[in-house]
């Protein structure tokens, strides 16, 4: 081992960020999977069971802390490298760059910040209710009654709209993020990289459509 270096290199920072990001991406699949249970038409029975399992299982509790840590690390590194990158070119070009690159790969910090703002809103709707940090909405029976909270929330065209717009920006972040994480970790191969890029887009579209579908279901088809 060499001398321990307190200032991590740009590569190490990005590797940590990529691992945290990939972890968040696995969580999103689990989250979507559980939410899909709301579409079963059983008045949230199966969904409620899954929620109590997730709430009381000690293993999941640990997972929750790791998840939070991952989020915070991902965001802090993202913000720090963005600042460093900004100062690497103090005088900007008069003609903005015309190079042939994928558009949203240049706006990860912007889609990221939007996701962060959305998360605050999302937490006040659900997570903070569970933690009793915000008042229990009048419709809900108890602080784990997410099914009822959801069905009332998405009857509002504003919230349904805001959520869907945010799912689209989340998708744009993920579309670049998935394949980018592989490249950062050094996993680039002429045979597999094209496939990873396709899976990246399928994943992003799947997450956006999946979550949006639930929102649209409550807005259009569910009668209170």
Partner 1 sequence: MNIKLKIWRQKNAQAKGKFENYSLEDVSPEMGFLEMLDYLNQKLIKSGGEPVAYEHDCREGICGSCGMYINGRPHGPEAKTTTCELRMRSFKDGDTITIEPFRSRMFPIIKDLLIDRTAFEKILIAGGFISADTGSAPEANSILVCKKHADKAFDMATCIGCGACVAACKNSSAMLFVSAKINQYALLPQGKIEAPERVKKMVAKMDELGFGSCSNTYACEAECPKGISVSAIAKMNREFLHAKLIAED
Q: List residues binding partner 1 (CB under 8 A).
A: 1-2, 7, 9-15, 81, 84-85, 87-102, 105-106, 108, 176, 179-180, 183-190, 193
When CB distances are held under 5 to 8 angstroms depending on the partner's kind, the choice from partner 1, ligand HEM, none that residue 21 binds is ligand HEM
The count of C-alpha atoms lying within 13 angstroms of the C-alpha of 22, restricted to the half-sphere facing its C-beta, is: 12
Q: For ligand HEM, which residue of 50, 78, 163, 204 counts as binding (CB under 6 A)?
A: 78
User: Which residue number, 65 or 87, has a Cβ lying nearer to partner 1?
Assistant: 87
Q: Does 25 bind ligand HEM (CB under 6 A)?
A: yes
Rounded Cα distance between 161 and 163, Å, is 5
Q: Does 109 bind ligand HEM (CB under 6 A)?
A: yes
Q: How many CB atoms lie within 10 A of CB 184?
A: 19
Contact predicate 198/143, CB 8 Å: no
To the nearest 10°, the Cα dihedral for 40, 45, 48, 52?
Answer: -130
- Cα separations in angstroms, 173 against 66, 151, 216: 21, 27, 22
Using the structure block, give the residue that is written with the tokens 């191969």: 189
Kindly state the number of chain residues that form the binding site for ligand HEM, as judged by CB under 6 A. 25
Angle of helix 58-87 versus helix 108-125 axis, rounded to 10? 150
When CB distances are held under 5 to 8 angstroms depending on the partner's kind, the choice from ligand HEM, partner 1, none that residue 24 binds is ligand HEM
Rounded Cα distance between 50 and 79, Å, is 34
DSSP state of 54: H
Q: For ligand HEM, which residue of 36, 82, 123, 159 counts as binding (CB under 6 A)?
A: 82
To the nearest 10°, the Cα dihedral for 140, 121, 134, 156?
Answer: -30
Q: Which of the residues 146 through 165 are near ligand HEM (CB under 6 A)?
A: none
N-terminal to C-terminal alpha carbon distance within the chain: 63
User: Which residue number, 148 or 183, has a Cβ lying nearer to partner 1?
Assistant: 183
- Least gap, CB of 74 to partner 1 (angstroms): 14
User: Which residue number, 45 or 102, has a Cβ lying nearer to partner 1?
Assistant: 102
User: Which residue number, 79 or 133, has a Cβ lying nearer to partner 1?
Assistant: 79
Q: For ligand HEM, which residue of 38, 50, 75, 153 counts as binding (CB under 6 A)?
A: 75
DSSP state of 137: P
Q: For ligand HEM, which stretch binds (CB under 6 A), given 32-40, 125-133, 147-155, 172-180?
A: 172-180
Q: For ligand HEM, which residue of 129, 150, 151, 173 counts as binding (CB under 6 A)?
A: 173
> Which residues contact ligand HEM (rule: CB under 6 A)?
14, 17-18, 21-22, 24-25, 28, 74-75, 78-79, 81-82, 108-109, 112-113, 115-116, 173, 177, 180-181, 184
């Amino acid at each position: 081992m060499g001398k321990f270096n307190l200032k991590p290199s740009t590569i190490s920072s990005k590797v940590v960020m990529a691992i945290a990001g990939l972890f968040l991406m696995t969580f999103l699949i689990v989250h979507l999977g559980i939410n899909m249970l709301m579409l079963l038409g059983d008045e949230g029975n199966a969904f409620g069971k899954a929620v109590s399992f997730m709430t009381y299982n000690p293993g999941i509790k640990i997972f929750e802390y790791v998840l939070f840590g991952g989020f915070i690390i991902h965001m802090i590194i993202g913000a720090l490298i963005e600042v460093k990158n900004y100062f690497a070119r103090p005088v900007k070009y008069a003609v903005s760059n015309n190079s042939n690159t994928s558009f949203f790969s240049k706006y990860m910090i912007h889609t990221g910040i939007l996701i962060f703002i959305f998360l605050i809103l999302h937490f006040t709707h659900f997570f903070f209710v569970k933690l009793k940090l915000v008042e229990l909405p009048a419709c809900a029976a108890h602080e784990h009654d997410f099914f009822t909270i959801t069905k009332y929330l998405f009857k509002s065209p504003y919230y349904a709209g805001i959520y869907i717009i945010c799912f689209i920006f989340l998708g744009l972040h993920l579309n670049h993020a998935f394949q980018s994480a592989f490249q950062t970790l050094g996993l680039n191969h002429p045979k597999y990289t094209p496939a990873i890029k396709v899976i990246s887009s399928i994943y992003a579209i799947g997450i956006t459509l999946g979550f949006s579908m639930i929102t649209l279901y409550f807005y259009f088809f569910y009668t209170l």
